């Protein structure tokens, strides 16, 4: 018997998760690295693996790279959004007044704006939705071959997954 080597969520932190190896016993194996290797996987993780392009709940294999947009420690998203915030300077312990401490914290976070982030997210969703509408408008048998239509619908699925990840 083999243990599942998929990465699963472990512990919820502020705005991200830690992960761990699934380790459930299994007899399923998936070919990876163009057939050069195999990874063991349980039936629950196998379902997530199959839907990985559509849903954002696949976090990769335990000893491999993280999906870039996954909200987990070690992903590209984590280093761009969480680790950089934690690296900001902390107030000096010798501050004499609460006002001075608040002033220093405000200065440290002045470059960060929650509202700005929400606006950027909304704008990105609108851009993606516009791309989807354009693809849908052109994806019909009169304008494209069946193969092109299939590729267009795959692109739509990928774009919808991007919206879900935002």
Which pLDDT does position 115 carry in this prediction?
57
Does 50 map to a domain? yes
Question: Sorting pLDDT into bands at 50, 70 and 90, what band is 165?
Answer: confident
| 9 within some domain | yes
Q: Is residue 141 part of a domain?
A: yes
Phi, psi of 70 (to 5 degrees): -65, 135
Q: Is 19 inside any structural domain?
A: yes
Average pLDDT score over residue span 36-59: 89
pLDDT of 144 strictly over 60 = yes
**Both structure tokens of 67:** 């999906």
Residue pair 55/5 in contact by the 8 Å Cβ criterion: no
- Give the structural domain span for 56: 2-66
Give the total number of structural domains in the chain: 2
Please indicate, yes or no, if residue 91 is contained in any of the structural domains: no
Burial class of residue 7 (count of CB atoms within 10 Å of its CB; 0-12, 13-18, 19+) = buried
Nearest by Cα to 58 from 155, 68, 129: 68
% of residues, the chain, pLDDT over 90? 22
**Residue 39 falls within a domain, yes or no?**
yes
Residue 112's Cβ-count burial label (10 Å; 0-12, 13-18, 19+) is: exposed
pLDDT tops 60 at residue 92: no
pTM across the whole model: 0.49
Instruction: Evaluate whether residue 74 is within a structural domain.
Output: no
Residue 8 has pLDDT above 70, yes or no: yes
* Dist CA 118 CA 130 (whole Å): 18
Question: Which tokens is 66 given?
Answer: 């993280």
Task: Considering only residues 98 and 45, tell me which one the structure prediction assigns the higher pLDDT.
Answer: 45
Residue 73: inside a domain: no
């Amino acid at each position: 018997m083999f243990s599942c080597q998929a990465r699963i969520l472990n512990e919820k932190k502020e705005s991200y998760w830690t992960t761990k190896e699934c380790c459930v016993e299994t007899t399923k194996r998936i070919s990876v690295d163009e057939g050069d290797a195999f990874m063991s996987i349980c039936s629950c993780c196998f379902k997530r693996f199959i839907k990985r392009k559509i849903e954002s709940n696949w976090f990769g294999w335990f000893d491999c790279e993280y999906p870039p947009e996954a909200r987990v420690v070690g992903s590209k998203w984590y280093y761009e959004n969480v680790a950089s915030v934690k690296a900001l300077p902390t107030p000096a312990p010798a501050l004499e007044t609460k006002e001075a401490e608040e002033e220093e914290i405000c200065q440290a976070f002045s470059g960060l704006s929650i509202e700005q982030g929400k606006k950027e997210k909304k704008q990105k969703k609108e851009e993606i939705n516009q791309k989807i509408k354009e693809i849908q408008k052109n994806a019909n048998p009169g304008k494209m071959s069946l193969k092109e239509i299939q590729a267009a619908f795959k692109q739509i699925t990928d774009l919808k997954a991007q919206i879900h990840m935002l």
